[in-house]
Structure 1
Amino acid sequence: MDIHISRVHYPVTTLGPGKRIGIWLQGCSIHCKGCISMDTWQFDINKVSINDVKNVLKAWLPQCDGITISGGEPFDQEKPLTELLDFLNSYNKNILVYSGYSFNVLKEKNLVQNGSIDVLISEPYDHTQSQTKRLLGSDNQKVHFLTSVGKNEFTTYLEQPLEKKLDLHITQETIWMAGIPINGMKEITQASKENNVTLTHSQAVIKK
């Protein structure tokens, strides 16, 4: 089976407790205004064998503290997501999944009911909302503890205040960031401008 992947990275320290594997799926049908990851919207690119993805993950799984899956929209690839989760659950690591779908849409899905996901964050990002809660881009989003593992390992983490922290991966041409920036890219863009660095990013398309 094939799966469309935007990127995988380890370690990620900004999307859940501990050092985590981050998996970003490629393709999203929701298209939230102000999305910070518009590069993950397009379908039918970055197709890889799910077995190749598993082989990459095998090197990291023994040492990671958990896995965070985002996108794109993971539930737009429900069959590959199911196979991926079946594989990840064999390592007994906590799994957090982000989705832009409402919980009313997701709650009847087998993946939500069968314990494959420990913590689910649902609801579309809303750039007009405030942002006061950890792991959330906007306060309308909701955290669901789907297993006791999720509740035990995330409750204290989520009660901590927001922190201005991002994981950075820097190449000669790009800077890739993982995490939930406070107030989106506004503060980062302004600080960069003050240091004579111009950033181009997906949130720049928002019209005020």
Structure 2
Amino acid sequence: MEISLSRVHYPVSTLGPGRRVGIWFQGCSIRCPGCISVDTWRVKPAQTSVDQVTSLISPWLAECDGVTISGGEPFDQPLALHALLLSLSAFDKDVLVFTGYSTEQALQMMHGWDGLIDALVSGPFERHTPQTKPLRGSDNQRLTLLTARGTVRFSGYERLLRPEDRQLDLLMDADGTAWLAGIPRPGDMQVLQAWLAAEGHRATTTELSSTTP
């Protein structure tokens, strides 16, 4: 099964409990205004397969605490997402999936996928809606616990944000590119850019600053 991905990385500690494998799908049809991941919007031809991805990340899966799947929009590639989830199930790790679709839409697309996703964060990002809960970019987004393991692992995220939640992972790609993973609060990226500029560094953001094109 072919799959189009933006990137994979390990460890990621800001998108769920513990040290997690992060998998970002490429391509998004929802395109929320204010999205910080505009670079994952463009649909690109599938450049790898689910089997190749599983083989690549299997050493990480042997030691990680869980897997987080985001994007882009994972449910825009439903067959590839399902195949990936089936492969991941052999490693007995919790799986968290982010989607911009509504909970009802996602659950409909997940018909027959029982047990493959432990927790789902769903709903489009709304740039003018407050952000007061962890794992959400805006409070309209819902955290749905789909399995007993999901309840154990993610029920603690049904709370208000704490100061310690305000953190991002600094990750490095093989080509030396540094990037951030996590869910920033409104204005965080601009503050970081200003601080880096004051220190003589240059940083760019893919956050969309105007309406969706």
The TM-score normalised by the length of structure 2 is 0.89
For residues 17 and 148 of structure 1, the distance between their equivalents in structure 2, rounded to whole angstroms, comes to 15
For residues 178 and 191 of structure 2, the distance between their equivalents in structure 1, rounded to whole angstroms, comes to 16
For residues 129 and 112 of structure 1, the distance between their equivalents in structure 2, rounded to whole angstroms, comes to 33
- Alpha-carbon distance change, 62 to 173 in structure 1, aligned in 2, over 3 angstroms: closer
For residues 113 and 79 of structure 1, the distance between their equivalents in structure 2, rounded to whole angstroms, comes to 11
Query: CA-to-partner distance for each residue in 1:118-155, whole Å, 9 max, x for gaps?
Result: 00000001111111111111111110001111111112
- Alpha-carbon distance change, 173 to 83 in structure 1, aligned in 2, over 3 angstroms: closer
Amino acid at match of 2:162: P
Identity %: 43
Aligned to 1:174: 177
1:100 and 2:100 aligned: yes
CA contact (8 A) 1:119 1:145 kept: yes
1:164 is aligned, of 145, 163, 166, to 166
For residues 67 and 32 of structure 1, the distance between their equivalents in structure 2, rounded to whole angstroms, comes to 24
Amino acid at match of 1:168: L
- Alpha-carbon distance change, 16 to 158 in structure 1, aligned in 2, over 3 angstroms: farther
1:202 and 2:206 aligned: yes
CA contact (8 A) 2:33 2:209 kept: no
Query: CA-to-partner distance for each residue in 1:76-105, whole Å, 9 max, x for gaps?
Result: 000010010001011111000000001121
CA contact (8 A) 1:107 1:113 kept: no
1:188 is aligned, of 188, 192, 195, to 192
- Alpha-carbon distance change, 71 to 111 in structure 1, aligned in 2, over 3 angstroms: farther
Aligned to 1:72: 72
The TM-score normalised by the length of structure 1 is 0.91
Q: What SS class does the counterpart of residue 68 from structure 1 fall into?
A: strand
Aligned to 1:37: 37
Aligned to 1:26: 26
Query: CA-to-partner distance for each residue in 1:26-52, whole Å, 9 max, x for gaps?
Result: 110001111111111111245212211
For residues 111 and 60 of structure 1, the distance between their equivalents in structure 2, rounded to whole angstroms, comes to 29
Aligned to 1:17: 17
- Alpha-carbon distance change, 18 to 72 in structure 1, aligned in 2, over 3 angstroms: same
Aligned residues: 207
CA contact (8 A) 2:32 2:126 kept: yes
Q: What SS class does the counterpart of residue 87 from structure 1 fall into?
A: helix
After superposing the two structures, state which structure 1 stretch, 56-65 or 152-161, moved more.
Answer: 152-161
Query: CA-to-partner distance for each residue in 1:158-206, whole Å, 9 max, x for gaps?
Result: 5362522111124676321111112252332232233333322122633
